[in-house]
A = this chain, B = another copy of it.
Amino acid sequence: MRIAYLGPSGTFTEEALLSEASLAESTHIAKSTITEAMTAVVEGSADAAFVPIENSIEGPVNETIDQLAFSSDLLIQREVVLDIHLDLMSAPGTPISSIQQVLSFPHASAQCRGFLREHLASAAVGATGSTADAARIVAETDQSGLAAIAPPLAAKLYGLEVIAHGIEDFEANQTRFVLVGRDTVPAPTGHDRTTIVCFQGADRPGSLYAILGQFAARSLNLTFIESRPTKLALGQYCFVVTVEGHVEDDILGECLMELRLEIEDVKFLGSYPVPGEAASKHREQVASNRQRARRWLGELRARVEHE
């Protein structure tokens, strides 16, 4: 399997990709943007794309979400979560006191504001296209006093020395990545999620409350919700919603049908397994109760007289 990912080599995306044995063995194709990685799948030069979709500090990665929602018919195939640690790195032997400029992807440097304020208050902060790019530029540039904020993997890859480990401000820093592919939906595993985009009619704004009511009425647990501009006018939104369960589940299928009836449009972005068992206890309990309720319904229906 050929997997296009958000490169260059040395990004957190690659680190996440290598962290899963079954994905690590594939052929990896580095792309310089999320859009390029996903377009490669649409155009057939890759079988799947591996891209970040949400960070616990920065929130959703809108380029990924907008590509899924507006610009392709790709489906999410699985989810991978990676702990994020950012390191300050430079050419071997560089003392921290000599650093005058720090390069990184803006989101990454934003996550190290505390460290930068305390230890590098006078250094300038420059933007690069990715954290790995920052490491590469530092390695390739012959300029002294230059450092990068990048993943540990990038230091190894570009021969830099780590000056400070784990300099991010927040401890609970994790990123969710998704593998997206064409056409098929993975079979249910018992710990799956489903993501859809809900488009409300132009003449019926403010329907988010009604949309959420459909999930609430079925005790379906939402794990993620984001409003995105429809790009038609300021103040017009659609809603990206992730819910526990699989499109093959009776109750979730029925919920999708009702949403499809109620609102302008529903776009399906996939049903896919998620790591961990956290959510599944609640789901098992609900499933077992529902089994009993279904039996009761079956008994009622058995009494219907058909000639």
Interface residues of chain A, those whose CB is within 8 Å of chain B, are: 35, 54-59, 62-63, 75, 81, 106, 110, 113, 126-129, 170, 172, 174, 176, 183-188, 206, 208-209, 212-219, 221-229, 231-235, 237, 247-248, 250-251, 253-254, 256-258, 260-262, 268, 271, 286, 289-290, 293-294, 296-297, 300-301, 303-307
Q: Which of chain B's residues have a CB closer than 8 A to the CB of A58?
A: 62, 229
By the criterion CB–CB under 8 Å, are B289 and A261 in contact? yes
Smallest Cβ distance from A266 to chain B, in angstroms? Answer: 8
Q: Which of chain B's residues have a CB closer than 8 A to the CB of A54?
A: 229, 234
Interface of A is mostly: mixed
Q: Which of chain B's residues have a CB closer than 8 A to the CB of A225?
A: 208, 227, 237
* Distance of A212 Cα from B106 Cα, bound (Å): 33
Interchain residue pairs with CB less than 8 A apart (26): A54-B229, A56-B229, A57-B231, A59-B62, A59-B229, A106-B106, A106-B127, A172-B233, A183-B303, A186-B304, A187-B306, A187-B307, A206-B221, A209-B209, A209-B216, A212-B212, A218-B258, A223-B235, A224-B237, A225-B227, A225-B237, A247-B300, A251-B254, A257-B290, A257-B294, A268-B300
By the criterion CB–CB under 8 Å, are B297 and A256 in contact? yes
* Distance of A219 Cα from B217 Cα, bound (Å): 12
Q: Which of chain B's residues have a CB closer than 8 A to the CB of A251?
A: 254, 258
The 8 closest A-B pairs by CB, nearest first: A217-B217, A56-B234, A260-B293, A209-B212, A257-B293, A185-B304, A174-B234, A185-B303
